[in-house]
């Protein structure tokens, strides 16, 4: 995409216009970098939460296997963890 400064100009001709153009370009790059960084941070947070939840589920499964919990009870515990996963994560973030 080509942006013009006005009229039929295709590039800045004076020093103030060149400085202004350079500043706008830099601000655009900084803004896009901020957006990309925020998105990467969000993905990392979601991934961390997913790994923590998987670790909790693995631990619960190991414990239930060792104490020989019935299949129905095991599924109820898994369903409970699944329903309360957001609440448990928020509680950990507060602590």
Domain ranges of the chain: 19-94
Measure Cα distances from 64 to 18, 78, 84 in Å. 69, 11, 18
User: Quick one: pLDDT at residue 29?
Assistant: 95
Instruction: Write down the pTM of the prediction.
Output: 0.58
Task: Work out whether the CA dihedral 44, 47, 53, 54 comes out positive or negative.
Answer: negative
Non-local (6+) Cβ contacts of 92 within 8 A are: 52
The per-residue pLDDT for range 4-57, each reduced to its tens digit, is: 555 666 677 889 988 998 999 999 999 999 999 999 999 998 898 888 888 888
Token pair of 62 as six digits: 């190991």
For residues 48 and 41, the answer to whether their CB atoms sit within 8 Å is no
- Which of 95, 93, 92, 65 has its CA nearest to residue 78? 65
């Amino acid at each position: 995409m080509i942006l013009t400064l006005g009229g039929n100009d295709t590039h800045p001709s004076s020093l103030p216009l060149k400085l202004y153009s350079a500043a706008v370009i830099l601000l655009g790059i900084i803004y896009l970098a901020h957006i990309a960084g925020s998105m990467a941070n969000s993905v990392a947070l979601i991934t961390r939460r997913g790994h923590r939840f998987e670790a909790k589920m693995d631990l619960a499964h190991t414990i239930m296997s060792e104490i020989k919990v019935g299949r129905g009870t095991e599924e109820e515990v898994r369903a409970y963890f699944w329903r309360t996963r957001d609440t448990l994560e928020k509680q950990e973030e507060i602590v």
